[in-house]
Structure 1
Amino acid sequence: MRSSDSPAAAPTSTLAPTGRIDAVGLDRDVEAILSRLRRDADELQIIPIAGAGGIGKTTLARNVYHDPYLIVIDKFDIRAWVTVSQDYNFGNIFKNLLVSMKVFVKEDITRLSKEEMALKVHQTLTDRRYLIVIDDMWSTKAWDEIRSYFPNNSNRSRIILATRLKDVAAYVDSSQKFHEMQYLDDFQSLILLKKELCKGECRLPMLEAMENIATKIARSCGGLPLAIVVTAGLLSEVSETEADWEQIAANINLVITADEEKYAAILDLSYTNLPHHLRHCFLYMGAFPEDYEIRVSKLVKLWIAEDLVESTATKTPEEVAEVCLEDLVKRNLVLVTKGKSHGRIKSCGLHDLLRDLCLMRSLEENFLLTFMGSFFLPEIFATQLRISISHSNILAHIDGSTIHTIICYSHSSVDSLEKFRKLRILDMLNTSVPAQVLELRDLRFLVFSYSNAILESTSNLENLQTLIIYPNDASILVHFPLEIWKMPRLRHLISPSVHPLPHLDGAMSPSENLQTLSLATNFECSERMLKMIPNVKKLGICYFEEKFDRDFHLENLQRLEKLEKLKMEVCGDFCVRPSLNPVFPESLKKLTLSGWRRPWTDLSIVGSLPNLQVLKLRNYACYGSIWETSDGEFEELEFLLIDESNLEKWWTDSSHFPKLRSLVLQRCPSLMEIPDDIVYIPTLELIEIDGRNKSLLESAKSIQKEQETDYDNYRIQVRY
């Protein structure tokens, strides 16, 4: 489809939206951009794309970025993607470019200043042929600030820059005319509407019967792809009767005014037709900054803490929340920016125009105030229930008597929370808060940075559901008081170091509601400890070398019968871990091992797990040159990642991975080829390779070609 300008992920996001889109009306645009990319000029070329919000600039850039012939024939050494947005941050632009180029950047970039990150980008790009996409550029000032860090290597490097503003497009390269995108004509609009309505199921007979009404509706959307796909989402949720469709057509016709007002009104029509239980879920997404990568795991926790979703007789609150999100995605009101390795949604976002709708409606309904400035009138906060801000220092100047939700995105500190006694939600991940926060009895959701090593008390937080703490300094271990295990409603406890775990006594009751525990340091799987967390579904544990002489009783892990996700990280010098012999529960669906350094033969323990769908092997999780799989292993596995390994030979049979969809091989310099039998896996859709391993990349391309020519599998992608 030809869709709207989807955000690429995170503020100044790091990665291109995954994969190409079956586009309507974009063929000529794609060919025009590819032609400009392939011009003979050796000098660095800037290729500006201009067009209205929602017209498909990001979709165009995405399809060019993932064009298979561009990847195979033009062979850029580096491809990277960054989204800038209106409220851009110089440091974040280069930070996220470095993340996007992570294969070439080995050092810890979190310790670099913004100037050092910019210089690191310049250094990484120097003498390499690169393709950079800069999406959603809003000002010539931003371009002037970053332009000098992209070197002219005289090797046909290219930058694609997408913007809504024609003057910005003309400014970045005045030597040639920028590429201006056009609205869809009536025929293309109808094609896109039909594609969206048939997505996931065939409705052609119904569409043929109501062709005239569909044509009228498509024409009324004014050729803007975003308006068309959102309207299709609305139509897909009403009954397929002529009367209902006529009603939608009539409502759209009523909003035809000036172009910008018309498009805003069409989007608003989809909001007013949302079921009541979805309206506030949708509006809540306006709390996040423009082009922000909203992690679903966090969004779900927030919705639950705000009482926007509730459990049912058959579903937990988390399951209900995910159904609500999927419903918003089906209606094309929410964009999926990243998928999980087993097909569910990992992160999502809003198109800028839909975010504008969120902000407007939230103000009208006194649901949420999003304030991203620094100068303000305190009166505007007087009756607010929820606020989202970018500067925590304004909290000292406002009346907090009505506020029960604060979401802040600044890097700062808060001196006092005395005025905010009604707080239920406090999300200040980048902000240090006073110890006074532990006295807020109504808190349900608490996220903050911490500068001390010990939390003195959590006894007042009897309503807390989610506690996420990240220390300001990575060397700090957060020590939780014993009473943390007595909090009756706690569902999620997350910190880089949950340390130490309690000295348990028989008087303590199990934490029945706890679903997430991460990252537990030197976690001892005693029977008593596991009885304390009987319903945990997600567990992250980490072991340090100086403790390897202890017996952590990892054979008891199998007692966690509801555990679905396990991440086990081992830190220390390069050696085999003889004392760590886990026995995994059969309930596991996702397993991540890092630094395990066990022989590849030990993976037979993992391969026998009957429900395992995702396996990630990082940082020499297995050590050795040969991996040979056996019959009956990995029968449900859909996603396999090997990241950093000395593997040289991998012997397997397609029947050992019968459901594999995605294979990702990163930093495996000694592995020269993918096993031939991988080509016979009918479900395979993606092979992703470290671009520096040319031999492995050629092996992946060979598998892709054979899948296409011999098995008519054109779904398979090769990415690097």
Structure 2
Amino acid sequence: MAFAALVSLAETLSQLLKQHRYSLFLEEKPRLNSLLKHVKFLQAFLEDFPEKANHLEGGIRDAANEAQDILEYLLFEEIRSSGSSGSPHQSGGSNAHRLHLKFQKQHRKLPKVSQDIESIVREVVGIKNSLKIQDLQPGDSCPPTSSLMKPSDSSPPTSSSVFVPTKKDDKKDAMVGFEEDLLAIKTRLCGESRKLQFVPIYGMGGIGKTTLARNAYDDPLVIQQFDIRAWVTVSQDYSIQEMLFTLVDSIKAFNEKFDEEKHSYEQMTEHVYKSLKGRRYLVVLDDMWSTKAWDDVRRIFPDDSNGSRIIITTRLQDVAAYADSSSALHEMRFMDMDQSWILLRQKVFNGQRCPPELESIGKVIARSCKGLPLAIVVIAGLLSTVSQNQVSWEDISEKVNLAVTANDEQFSKILSLSYTHLPHHLRPCFLYMGGFPEDYEIHVSRLVKLWMAEGFMKPSVSKSFEEGAEEYLEDLVKRSLVLVNRRKSNGKIKSCKVHDLVRDLCISKAQEEKFLLHVTDRYVDKILPGGMKDQRRLSIPRSSLTLLSNIYGPIIRTFLFFQHSQRLLSATDSFRLLRILDAVKLTFSKFPAEVLGLFHLRYLAFTYMHKSKCDIPASILQLQKLQTLFICPYSKVYRNLRSRICLPSEIWTMAQLRHLVFFMLDSLPDPSTATFALKNLQTLAVVRNFKCTKTIVQMIPNLKKLGIFYKGDGIEWREYHLDNLVHLRQLEKLKIWVEDRSRDPFPLWEKLAFPMMLKKLTLSGCLFRSEDMTVFGSLPTLEVMKLIICDFEGCKWETTEGEFPRLKCLKIRFTKLKHWETDSCHFPSLEHLQLCYFPELGEIPDVIGEIPTLQIIEVNSWDQSLVDSAKRIKEEQQSFGNDSLQVRIVYD
């Protein structure tokens, strides 16, 4: 976790160097500047040459963490004493004297840790000089190919997958659940196209990529199809030489003899090319980890338009798509329950009948493998060695994940490869996934805020921290380490999960790296007496929280709670360096005043019990580093209009705030006396009866997401100045709910205008005129529009050409719309159309089906006429050869 520690330390140093209030840090400015320079040097080294720093990583991590602990402790004590007479250096009294001695002790550690980091820098400089690193391009793992010569003793690497069959009769078992995949791959291999085609197969480690490729490779029909076949295992630390040797050996079976001992790299390359030239060949590049590997060998493969094929297997989506972006990717899916049980049964009983008394527990074990074939094969091997009785199988069932990893070293190595291949900046983000409970749905909006508060994200000129975090997550998904659970209407990830066995890898690596500790009931009882002096992050899924008040963790930065309770930490002084208190599962009757002493807090989330309102005290201004404040009511019982949150005017002084998320904020305090704008604020939701005055707009100039709720009798829009929304020029997402008891639905304000950057618009409880819809259609970047409990004037909507140029998703629910006149060219980018609860609309316009980008029409089962209409549109499109359009019927 060296990279994350360096990024976080660099941020702390940068902030301290900007401080002019504290004499201690003014005195230490030269040392801090030097330290920052060294930190950035090491950070760049890890980014550019990750493979050269593996043996240094632990030392860099420990030194960077220690430096940060010292600096943040000193800052905490300086700030705590600044409100009283004197300073940590001058205070009187026995307790003050003790604190003074501790302060001085920490201060004296600063030169030593600075020297430690400087020593590491000197070692890195030596490494770079000895390797002549300046002549090597960043990311290179070997010298340029033109200088490669065959080593004196070399042999092709063996496959790392346990799925490669060695016996002909093993293939049927190995392909359980992959029959359709095999058929699809064989169809592509033996298709009529004569162009050289690529067949990329990708998915997480152990999911069966190599098995699928091997079964296709050895299929009699495929063997008959090709003149030459070659299987090359690339692997993580590939060698171009060894890849060439393997190709030469494969060609020998079809060609004249070739003595590679007497030929150079260039001669072997030429020999392979000439041997493949004019022949129909099939080459499998198995377990490819980088695009560079393909760049190194691509010129070896001629394209003679004779039907040759290249299969690539990889865990990385980007690598799969690299050779030919036009080739469809074949993504490996998890096995379902039936397939998992069939594979387990065949492996354990070798095709024989399973004893009836073991079938039930056997299915439980199969289900616990969560559809991962490698896990099933490993656990089957274990079951084959124990007594075939219920007691033995139930014992294994209780600890399937542990049994898998403990009984197959190869399995652990396969999963660990994915981690060791991660760039340094992604490693902490990946290990963080282990902090969530098993099968937990992780909401991306929350995860991104946590990563940012942890300090994992490097500052960037071109993108925000949030955008960078979303890119990190997409990268982990492309590497098959994180699973997408749900996507948003715009295609971005809404929530994600990790496979149980991958989560186990996260937890074990996190503990090994001193990164995160998973606390269980049994573990709490064991460790509380000794404290947690070396722990930086705690994940507490099901612990006895009453015991946590005894924990002493002076360097703990993070608490992640996942169990409901009405108790918090009573001695927050024991966690003076805490950055994250994710306590949504902890419930309070009022704002927890005990957190106000946690100066370093960046992320605070909790639940409140009170039925009416939650008052945030003015003293919240002490949390000057707070980035995210999330407060929600205890349960749906309290999620009513009486549940309100009241912010003090001091909120305008908290310059680091980025996300204010509440169920119902009772408007914003008067900013007239504020001297600073909340320039970093990106999210503000949900605000009751929000007054969008010019002053407010100027105070939140970079807001990207805004949620508003209006309720009353006879709402007067002029009072709320919503015409000023157009001046929120960075606003991308806007939700407005309206509940006016005097009329239902309510006409929108007269001067309807929105900022041009708006990408997502959700409106509820509104009545639209034709000119309103024209305003919506004129938004150049609008991608998602949701209209809920909304009506159209005259119950008619007539669209116009040129509107909604980038709209991808249109969702309308609960409306009395009767007539919809449109054309396919009026929604040129539409992909997803959802129409639910349309009692008056007889049919969907047929021209909707002619929209070339449309992928899904979603209708509710209650709207039978729309269901029939959607099905008719789909049938008509199928008759025209369009098989991509789907109709989804929602039952709710």
Range into which the TM-score falls when normalised by the shorter chain: 0.5 to 0.7
Deviation readout 1:135-165 (Å, 9 max, x if unpaired)? xxxxxxxxxxxxxxxxxxxxxxxxxxxxxxx
Note the C-alpha offset of 1:370: 2.1
From 568, 575, 598, the equivalent of 1:420 is 575
Aligned residue in 2 for 1:512: 679
Note the C-alpha offset of 1:180: 13
Summarize the Cα distance change of 1:578–1:719 in structure 2 as closer, same or farther, 3 Å threshold. closer
Letter in 2 for 1:551: E
Whether 1:369 and 2:517 are equivalent positions in the alignment is: yes
Give the Cα separation in 2 of the matches to 1:187 and 1:215: 23
Summarize the Cα distance change of 1:528–1:350 in structure 2 as closer, same or farther, 3 Å threshold. same
Deviation readout 1:669-706 (Å, 9 max, x if unpaired)? 22221111101100001111112212211211122222
- Report if the CA contact (8 A) 1:625-1:647 is conserved: yes
Whether 1:690 and 2:860 are equivalent positions in the alignment is: yes
From 269, 275, 281, the equivalent of 2:423 is 275
- Report if the CA contact (8 A) 1:417-1:437 is conserved: no
Whether 1:182 and 2:179 are equivalent positions in the alignment is: no
Aligned residue in 2 for 1:389: 540
Whether 1:672 and 2:842 are equivalent positions in the alignment is: yes
Note the C-alpha offset of 1:385: 0.8
Whether 1:405 and 2:558 are equivalent positions in the alignment is: yes
Letter in 2 for 1:213: V
Percent of aligned pairs with the same residue? 41
From 471, 494, 498, the equivalent of 1:346 is 494
- Report if the CA contact (8 A) 1:539-1:563 is conserved: yes
Summarize the Cα distance change of 1:527–1:621 in structure 2 as closer, same or farther, 3 Å threshold. farther
Letter in 2 for 1:196: I
Deviation readout 1:451-478 (Å, 9 max, x if unpaired)? 4521113111100111111133323211
Aligned residue in 2 for 1:439: 597
Give the Cα separation in 2 of the matches to 1:316 and 1:566: 19
Note the C-alpha offset of 1:257: 8.8
Whether 1:562 and 2:730 are equivalent positions in the alignment is: yes
Give the Cα separation in 1 of the matches to 2:451 and 2:460: 15
- Report if the CA contact (8 A) 1:594-1:618 is conserved: yes
Deviation readout 1:606-631 (Å, 9 max, x if unpaired)? 11111111000112265652211122
Note the C-alpha offset of 1:716: 3.4
Deviation readout 1:526-553 (Å, 9 max, x if unpaired)? 1111001001011111111247136211
From 551, 564, 579, the equivalent of 2:719 is 551
Name which of structure 1's ranges 275-284 and 619-628 shifts more when overlaid on structure 2: 619-628
Note the C-alpha offset of 1:577: 3.0
**Alignment coverage as a number of residue pairs:** 518
- Report if the CA contact (8 A) 1:304-1:318 is conserved: yes
Letter in 2 for 1:212: W
- Report if the CA contact (8 A) 1:552-1:580 is conserved: no
Summarize the Cα distance change of 1:323–1:502 in structure 2 as closer, same or farther, 3 Å threshold. same
Letter in 2 for 1:402: I
Note the C-alpha offset of 1:300: 1.0
Q: Secondary structure at the match of 1:399?
A: coil
From 617, 622, 626, the equivalent of 1:460 is 622
Letter in 2 for 1:612: L
Aligned residue in 2 for 1:235: 289
Letter in 1 for 2:201: E
- Report if the CA contact (8 A) 2:877-2:885 is conserved: no
* Residue correspondence of structure 1 range 223-622 to structure 2 within 5 A: 235-236=289-290, 239-240=293-294, 260=404, 261=408, 262-373=410-521, 376-377=525-526, 378=528, 379=530, 381-390=532-541, 391=543, 392-415=545-568, 416-418=570-572, 419-432=574-587, 434-451=592-609, 453-457=614-618, 458-472=620-634, 473-474=638-639, 475-505=642-672, 507-546=674-713, 548-549=715-716, 551-573=719-741, 574-578=743-747, 580-581=749-750, 582-599=752-769, 602-620=772-790, 622=792
Summarize the Cα distance change of 1:345–1:216 in structure 2 as closer, same or farther, 3 Å threshold. closer
**Which protein has greater RCO, CA pairs closer than 8 Å, 6+ apart?**
1
Deviation readout 1:59-107 (Å, 9 max, x if unpaired)? xxxxxxxxxxxxxxxxxxxxxxxxxxxxxxxxxxxxxxxxxxxxxxxxx
Note the C-alpha offset of 1:343: 1.6
Summarize the Cα distance change of 1:336–1:237 in structure 2 as closer, same or farther, 3 Å threshold. farther
- Report if the CA contact (8 A) 2:286-2:313 is conserved: no
Whether 1:700 and 2:862 are equivalent positions in the alignment is: no
- Report if the CA contact (8 A) 2:536-2:557 is conserved: yes
* Greater C-alpha radius of gyration: 2
Give the Cα separation in 2 of the matches to 1:344 and 1:654: 25
Summarize the Cα distance change of 1:337–1:186 in structure 2 as closer, same or farther, 3 Å threshold. closer
Note the C-alpha offset of 1:493: 0.6
Note the C-alpha offset of 1:556: 1.0
Q: Secondary structure at the match of 1:647?
A: coil
Summarize the Cα distance change of 1:604–1:373 in structure 2 as closer, same or farther, 3 Å threshold. farther
Q: Secondary structure at the match of 2:888?
A: strand
Q: Secondary structure at the match of 2:553?
A: coil
Q: Secondary structure at the match of 1:708?
A: helix
Give the Cα separation in 1 of the matches to 2:813 and 2:834: 8
Q: Secondary structure at the match of 1:684?
A: coil
- Report if the CA contact (8 A) 2:202-2:313 is conserved: no
Summarize the Cα distance change of 1:410–1:645 in structure 2 as closer, same or farther, 3 Å threshold. same
Give unmatched runs, 5+ long, in structure 2. 1-172, 187-197, 205-212, 218-225, 237-284, 299-310, 316-374, 382-403
Aligned residue in 2 for 1:76: none
Give the Cα separation in 2 of the matches to 1:631 and 1:187: 43
Note the C-alpha offset of 1:600: 5.6
- Report if the CA contact (8 A) 1:576-1:598 is conserved: no
Give the Cα separation in 2 of the matches to 1:537 and 1:645: 29
Give the Cα separation in 2 of the matches to 1:368 and 1:439: 24
Whether 1:196 and 2:345 are equivalent positions in the alignment is: no
Note the C-alpha offset of 1:417: 4.5
Whether 1:640 and 2:810 are equivalent positions in the alignment is: yes
Summarize the Cα distance change of 1:183–1:198 in structure 2 as closer, same or farther, 3 Å threshold. closer
- Report if the CA contact (8 A) 2:785-2:809 is conserved: yes
Note the C-alpha offset of 1:431: 1.0
Summarize the Cα distance change of 1:290–1:546 in structure 2 as closer, same or farther, 3 Å threshold. same
Aligned residue in 1 for 2:824: 654
Letter in 2 for 1:519: V
Q: Secondary structure at the match of 2:584?
A: strand
TM norm structure 2: 0.54
Aligned residue in 2 for 1:175: none
Letter in 2 for 1:463: K
Summarize the Cα distance change of 1:295–1:528 in structure 2 as closer, same or farther, 3 Å threshold. same
Question: RMSD of the alignment, in Å?
Answer: 3.6
Give unmatched runs, 5+ long, in structure 1. 1-178, 218-230, 250-254
**Larger proportion of helix:** 2
Deviation readout 1:615-673 (Å, 9 max, x if unpaired)? 00112265652211122211111000001111222111111111100001122222221
Note the C-alpha offset of 1:450: 2.1
